[in-house]
Structure 1
């Protein structure tokens, strides 16, 4: 492989060898810095900043004898800082109301979650590491990862920089081609970090033997000779504290890898493979027993599982819930969430009851679509009788539910999207809408060169980019607002301004929103809404109590 000159020595025979001058002499431990770059987006949530993968990298490096510093930059700031809307997202401008607020609003404030890039690079340089690992957990955030790599290299030209994470696994060549990235490590850290460290420490480094490691020579990307996945016992257990309030402490974890399902829109397999496997329950029990408990035992504890498919192993999941309940039994309450979703096709009435009894306090479900041809095209199974049965059980117990559908499939039309929203409006659930986006490597997007020609930021759902040309950006944004309207109509916590807004919408059968002007708020029509989709929505709910004007509960009064 061709090594940057700063990493080269020439032997007496004239052969070039890797030297990595940043490597420590003598017995000093290697110093590594694991980084989660700032996130640039319209919004974020605490569990997105959990950095479970980065924690595993750090643990593996520590086990290999390194002194490790983890810098989770998004977690360093409680709020995002506004930044200009990127040029690549200017197409959203006709649909953004600059001073919009309220429960029907679309995104209108692009933000940086974390310190400025220059500050981040300075923090990294201050740790004086021998190597830097940059985690990119989604391909849409590739530009931030590469910009941070460039800034680090500008400060410390001899630093070895490795990019990894789910975003890198989707398209490793995109990262390793950068002059500021030396290696791209795909897949799971558990199976590669030890071999990487061995190669780094060797007098004659040979990185070609490191599983899942992409490198380059003469500008040409070299794929790894071995691609490897974890076995169940190899999966590391991480329980990360993601927040704390006056009354509760929040943790996030993930217990499984891989998915045998082949939904065409899902990218899980690119990083974790198709074989479903879970951390042995004994290993989880052992790790929980060793974990020091927070001192504030009077608070509730909330555990969020980031896994996609834990119900593929229902008995295992129930056992895990018991382990967590037992470990945190000294706290006021232990609640469970699965924010990435629960597979409703595995959710029998009996299992739903048991999950509620064991502490599931909210159910996030996904149906993808209600349109049979779309489900068939996307290879997604749905059992609507099971789904509706689960909703009835949840409603009887007063357990909140959010049901997600995807908007923007190849076969979507204003009619199919309106039908999805109308169907969910009639069910005892809130609506979550996911605007379709691809990543390199999923079906229909296997030609990675497509992503060389477009900004990675378009691969964020919040970008509302019309990837499949089935719906326009205006139709995607209209669907987003309609989903929010349904949630507001179902809410039992409506303010006086909410009621005035609802009244305007129902009387005119047209979307309106709230715009803040100086000290006042004004209800205005939504610009550039899709008239056909709105008409189909109101036609579908004609005569339904949800869209029948009438008195509504208020929790306070506001002037309109």
Structure 2
């Protein structure tokens, strides 16, 4: 029998990046519960290759215009809405088998909140005697909404490492949980008791994550075992779209270099992890600390096949040549750089520093040290125009960098979420607050946002042609023909030739039939008008 079961729920979406689904937070909570003397299991509802197609939900029916046809071309977006992971029924049955008296369910992201609730309902159906506690960003911010579901007994707001063992002890001893930091529960009169979010002051006092509880064979990048590490929490910046810096309780804290290295050593030596992603919001912000970490990484793991990444993005103004050189020597092969936008007005709206000069400087340094780069921009935010987003793409076109286009979504707890609420442009359902659903229709409409995302694919294809030694094709009129027996690159070259001529973005089905995607012609025209005049560079 197990005391505590921690569950990462399955999700439903158009795509899933499996290497970014490692339930790191659950391993941190599990280790604290084990230290307190409880037996713990983790069930990752996503740790399976199983998926099956579903009908696009009714509230997303408008997406059929953009995703309704299959596309095997390099310009494809999505086609099928899928359930990724185990079934809710299977998870409920597995929970019952453990006999756990406390089941913790992670609910990190608002658009996936309903799947966490469906998981709770399945667990209660098969294991009615257990108590269920929710944790994660969504219930921390919107606890009133979550507690409307009677399958949820408790919520721990904020950081749960210290709180969950205290809650487990209170349940086991039949005591009131009101002294548990961050706790939310229903009082006898039906009203909610809700504490302020819990915060851990000294991260080094926490035991290292219980990664031995994970299904390591599943988390791979290609053939390499992968892992994630968080060397800090919080963020001192106040970007309008981000809920981390916007939360008053979530102050910025760093772990000691020694603690981070110990955790990395367990992953690398013990579990043969060869790809490590730092999940920090701002890994390189403290130069002295980051330099010390890189020097220790270089010393400890020199000569290994280790690849390091910071996929949440690095702030260009926090980097310099010394740091980039050390990153290269430590195992970084790619720099994920956060640009935000090339528009000074949009940067002001985002409450972000203007990093363009630093961005260009770091791109040159990265090229010197043979590091790949990705530059991230946000499109479709409140008051952001399609013209500015196309300008961002053209800005990236002229630089040796892969274009990372992120479609804006409103995150509860962020300043932009409140702005969207005040503008009455929030989607009607939480499930729509995801990039793949193009959640807003404001100064950038949905069709324009779809077009911008496809233009990003086209731009990166053009960059890949340059890097592979191909010539960018001359614009030419569309020929009524099927595309058969051509490889993906040859197919893309044909489609690109026609696009540069008439601004139509086309797709190709499995039979070789060519068709036009639904796009905003004006937005595509802004791109085709200038892309040939831009000093296009590869990656």
TM-score (norm 1): 0.84
Number of the residue aligned with 2:341? 369
The answer on 1:254 being equivalent to 2:230 is: yes
Match of 1:3 in 2: none
C-alpha distance in 2 between matches for 1:295 and 1:279: 22
Conserved? CA contact 1:174–1:452, under 8 Å: no
Tell me which of 233, 241, 244 is aligned to 1:265. Answer: 241
Q: Deviations over 1:426-451 (max 9, x none)?
A: 11111111111112221143499999
Confirm or deny: 8 A CA contact 2:75 2:507 kept in the other structure. Answer: yes
The answer to whether the aligner puts 1:275 opposite 2:251 as a matched pair is: yes
Contact 2:32–2:207 (CA under 8 A) maintained in structure 1: no
Structure 2 SS opposite 1:189: coil
Provide the residue aligned with 1:378 in structure 2. Answer: 350
- Residue 497 of structure 2 corresponds to residue 503 of structure 1: yes
Question: Take 1:84 and 1:109, find their aligned partners in 2: how far apart are those partners?
Answer: 8
Q: Matches of residues 122-137 of structure 1 in structure 2 within 5 Å?
A: 122-137=93-108
> For 1:290 and 1:95, how far apart are their aligned partners in 2?
45
| Count of aligned positions | 509
For residue 190 of structure 1, give the secondary structure of its aligned residue in structure 2: coil
2-structure distance, mates of 1:56, 1:451: 37
Distance 1:175 1:225 in 2: 16
Match of 2:449 in 1: 476
Counterpart position of 1:514: 508
Instruction: Tell me, yes or no, if the aligned pair for 2:379 and 2:389 is still in contact at 8 Å.
Output: yes
Check 1:247–1:60 CA distance in 2 against 1; reply closer, same or farther (3 A cut). same
Q: Report the CA distance shift for 1:461/1:219 in structure 2 as closer, same or farther (over 3 A).
A: farther
What CA deviation, in whole Å up to 9, does each residue of 1:458-478 have, x standing for no partner?
1111111215x1211111100
Task: After superposition, give the CA deviation of every residue in 1:382-425 in whole Å (9 maximum; x if it has no partner).
Answer: 22111101111222333211111111122211211111111111
User: CA–CA distance in 1 between the matches of 2:14 and 2:290?
Assistant: 34
Structure 1 distance, partners of 2:263, 2:81, is: 39
Gaps of 5+ in 1: 1-28, 553-560
Pick which of 238-247 and 277-286 moved more: 238-247
Matched ranges for 1:46-85 at <5 A:
46-75=18-47, 77-85=48-56
Q: Does 1:538 align with 2:538?
A: no
How big is each residue's C-alpha offset from its partner over 1:266-317, in whole Å with a ceiling of 9 and x where there is no partner? 0124679442211112223444556682586xxx822111111011122322
| Compared CA separation, residues 453 and 365, structure 1 to 2 (3 A) | closer
Check whether the contact 1:349–1:389 (CA below 8 A) recurs between aligned residues. no
Q: Tell which deviates more after alignment, 247-256 or 446-455.
A: 446-455
Answering whether residue 398 of structure 2 is matched by residue 407 of structure 1, we say no
Confirm or deny that 1:99 pairs with 2:99.
no
With 334-343 and 444-453 compared, the bigger mean Cα shift is at 444-453
User: Matches of 1:119 and 1:342 in 2, distance apart?
Assistant: 39
Secondary structure of 2:79's partner? coil
Match of 2:281 in 1: 308
By how many angstroms is 1:507 displaced?
A: 2.4
Classify 1:262/1:333 alpha carbon distance in 2 versus 1 (closer, same or farther; 3 Å). Answer: same
- Map 1:28-39 to 2 at 5 A: 31-39=3-11
In the alignment, is the contact (CA less than 8 A) between 2:295 and 2:326 conserved in 1?
no
5 Å-filtered alignment, 1:175-324, equals 175-203=146-174, 205-217=175-187, 218-224=189-195, 227-235=198-206, 237-238=208-209, 243-244=219-220, 248-269=224-245, 273-288=249-264, 293-294=269-270, 301-324=274-297
For residues 236-263 of structure 1, give each alpha carbon's deviation from its aligned partner in whole angstroms, at most 9, with x where no partner exists: 5446756346753322111100111111
Cα 1:373–1:237, aligned 2, differ >3 Å: closer, same or farther? Answer: farther
CA gap of 1:475–1:160, structure 2 versus 1, over 3 A, is same
CA distance in structure 2 between the partners assigned to 1:233 and 1:295 by the alignment: 22
- Is 2:64 the partner of 1:88? no
- Alpha-carbon distance between aligned partners in 2 of 1:346 and 1:226, rounded to the nearest angstrom: 30
Change (3 A) 1:369 1:193: same
Structure (1 or 2) with the larger CA radius of gyration: 1
CA 1:156–1:247: 2 relative to 1, 3 Å: closer
Question: What is the CA RMSD across the aligned residues, in angstroms?
Answer: 2.7
C-alpha distance after superposition, 1:148-168 (max 9, x if no partner): 111111222221000111222
How far did 1:52 drift?
0.4
Aligned to 2:516: 525
- Separation of aligned partners in 2, 1:370 and 1:235: 40
Query: Aligned equivalents of 1:106 and 1:376: distance in 2?
Result: 30
* Whole-Å separation in 1 of the counterparts to 2:198 and 2:23: 23
Deviates more, 1:263-272 or 1:166-175: 263-272
After superposition, what is the alpha-carbon deviation per residue over 1:322-376, rounded to whole angstroms, capped at 9, x for unaligned?
A: 44445545x7422211111111121223322332232210011111111111211
Secondary structure of residue in 2 paired with 1:101? coil
Change in 2 beyond 3 A, CA 1:144/1:271? farther
SS in 1 for 2:138: helix
For 1:10, the equivalent position in structure 2 comes to none
Does structure 2 conserve the Cα–Cα contact (< 8 Å) formed by 1:260 and 1:276?
Answer: yes
In 1, distance between residues paired with 2:161 and 2:264?
19
Q: 5+ unaligned residues in a row in structure 2: which ranges?
A: 469-487
**Whole-angstrom CA distance in 1 between matches of 2:404 and 2:161:** 34
Distance (whole Å) between structure 1 residues aligned to residue 326 and residue 31 of structure 2:
35
Deviations 1:467-499 (A, max 9, x none): 5x1211111100000001000000045722122
Does the Cα contact within 8 Å between 1:257 and 1:273 map onto a contact in 2? no
In the aligned structure 2, how far is the partner of 1:93 from the partner of 1:247? 35
Structure 2 SS opposite 1:100: coil
